[in-house]
Amino acid sequence: MKLMNKPSQLRALSCFCSILLLLEFVFVAAEDPYRFFDWTVTYGDIYPLGVKQQGILINGQFPGPEIYSVTNDNLIINVRNNLTEPFLLSWNGVQQRRNSYQDGVYGTTCPIPPGQNFTYTLQVKDQIGSFFYFPSLAFHKAAGGFGAIKILSRPRIPVPFPEPAADYSLLIGDWYQIDHKKLQGVLDFGHRLPLPQAVLINGRPNGTTFTIEQGKTYRLRISNVGLENTLNFRIEGHSMKLVEVEGTHTIQTEYSSLDVHVGQSYSVLITADQAPKDYYIAVSTRFTDKIITSTAILHYSNSQQSVSGTIPGGPTDQINWSIEQARSIRTNLTASGPRPNPQGSYHYGLINISRTITLSSSAAQVNKKQRYAVNSVSFVPADTPLKLADYFKIGGVFKVGSIPDTPSRKPMYLNTSVMGADFRAFVEIVFQNNENIVQSWHIDGYSFWVVGMDGGVWTPKSRNEYNLRDAVSRSTTQVYPKSWTAIYMALDNVGMWNVRSEFWARRYLGQQFYLRVYSPVGSVRDEYPIPKNALLCGKAAGRTSR
């Protein structure tokens, strides 16, 4: 081998090495930050209603630890399952871009066996806003295991309101004093659940305190992590300025109270501009015969008086009031989202619809047991997660097209329902509610534009009522009794995605299905490979992930 000894060659080599070092530095510096979490899931005694219950704790906490992150952060969450049964966590509203393997529902992810661990690798890609995580298997959600997720904007991306003095998460939800396994047993025997016993605010029915200072403004992130009830949120003597809904900056409208349907999240700003004393934060059930109310305390740091007097009342069963409020929530088109461009730069109202899907809910008895369905199909889990069966091409687990695009006149029947959809299609989905209850629907992997809602049965003429300019974009929407809600959705995220009722008893008893968004290209630009650490179960057991 001949050594280089000419100055020009040495200079060239030196320059080349410098370029390599520079490129390496740029690559490393440009990589998005990592945040690491180490969680242990256990059963433990909790006393939310003053009586000992078995709760699901994460690192000994109920509710679980808050996830704090910034747009595009990589979240590495190691979950040790010290329960006596399998366990999964899912991430309500986190889109899992190109990565439905990490979604944490049984259709995509094998449960974590007792005594073992699994490390979720999530990236909150191009997202901001308020979300939450929860246990998705069995009826674990009725025992806790949920917590808040905050995704902040990157420092150089403008936010359409001044930095608040503090940022508080409020997890609200209906609660049973009955053990979650007994509740699951009630459903397994074919019966309906009784009414819940209470409403919790951050794990307590009363007494949670939030301290504020006179003259300052605060951000409250409110998520309904309950099982079925719409909740009305209000603060005595204070108005709330809505600023964000599930990742979308909104027109900053002020409300005296706010309906938060199951699975939904909102951010509001409040200003400490009242007399220095303590005020009630009130949360109560909506559309129920018996109104259940719980309270927290808004405490001024210079308070001269504890809370007293009557808890502020809110709406009870006024459907029209709630509909008008929902219609008033719109996107702030001049605000930046996770990227430095206006949220309204994507003109959803000018895109041609490639497909209309109508989803109708129903309740009936199948084999003398209570079940719930979408388009007459009541979902039953397969013996293998559907995403793994799809990846390994395992036959006999599910069939694409096993749920129709429109309501069926067939009697309710059981099936592992999967609807096929093409990558990059732009679809219209109509949720048709023929029942007498307010419903709540969520789609994993996506946010969608809520373009319209009204009473009666949807027809093509209903499109004349659509908001095609500044409809709010979110991942969970309500559907009022004997009414419809229409959404537009760009199918830009390949994967197997859960479409579900957020009423947990209904989801458990079949009111869900999976949307298989498919690209024939098979490129990593469209979808990440199966994770190296993927748990393999059912008919996928014994195979090699990568």
Cβ contacts of residue 343 below 8 Å, gap of 6+?
A: 248, 249, 331, 332, 333, 335, 336, 337, 473
Q: For 323, what's the count of Cα atoms within 13 Å in the CB-facing half-sphere?
A: 16
Q: What is the mean pLDDT of residues 217-240?
A: 98
Multiple choice CATH, 159-334, 3.40.50.300, 2.160.10.10, 3.40.50.11710, 2.60.40.420: 2.60.40.420
pLDDT band per the 50, 70, 90 thresholds, residue 527: very high
pLDDT band per the 50, 70, 90 thresholds, residue 19: very low
Q: Using the 8-state DSSP alphabet, how is residue 529 labeled?
A: P
Q: What is the mean pLDDT of residues 318-347?
A: 94
Please give the angle made by the CA atoms of 515, 231 and 468, to the nearest 5 degrees: 50
Cβ contacts of residue 80 below 8 Å, gap of 6+?
A: 38, 39, 40, 41, 116, 117
Q: What is the mean pLDDT of residues 61-72?
A: 98
- Domains of the chain: which residue ranges? 29-155, 159-334, 348-540
pTM for the full predicted model: 0.94
Q: Is the pLDDT of residue 14 over 50?
A: no
Task: Give Dmax over CA atoms of the chain in angstroms.
Answer: 93
Q: What is the pLDDT of residue 30?
A: 53
Q: What is the mean pLDDT of residues 517-542?
A: 96
pLDDT band per the 50, 70, 90 thresholds, residue 189: very high
The gap from C-alpha 33 to its chain's centroid, in whole angstroms, comes to: 23
Q: What is the pLDDT of residue 117?
A: 98
Q: Using the 8-state DSSP alphabet, how is residue 520 labeled?
A: T
Strands 278-285 and 198-201: unpaired
Q: What is the pLDDT of residue 31?
A: 80
Regarding the domain with residue range 29-155, which homologous superfamily does it belong to in the CATH classification? Cupredoxins -  blue copper proteins (2.60.40.420)
Beta partners for residue 498, in sequence order:
514
pLDDT band per the 50, 70, 90 thresholds, residue 341: confident
Helix (H) or strand (E) holding 180: helix 180-188
Q: What is the pLDDT of residue 13?
A: 37
Q: Is the pLDDT of residue 233 over 60?
A: yes
Same fold: 29-155 with 159-334: yes
Q: Are 93 and 219 spatial neighbours (Cβ–Cβ below 8 Å)? A: no
For residue 109, give the amino acid letter.
T
Multiple choice CATH, 348-540, 2.60.120.10, 2.60.40.420, 3.30.1600.10, 3.40.50.300: 2.60.40.420
pLDDT band per the 50, 70, 90 thresholds, residue 345: confident
Helix (H) or strand (E) holding 183: helix 180-188
Q: Are 359 and 371 spatial neighbours (Cβ–Cβ below 8 Å)? A: no
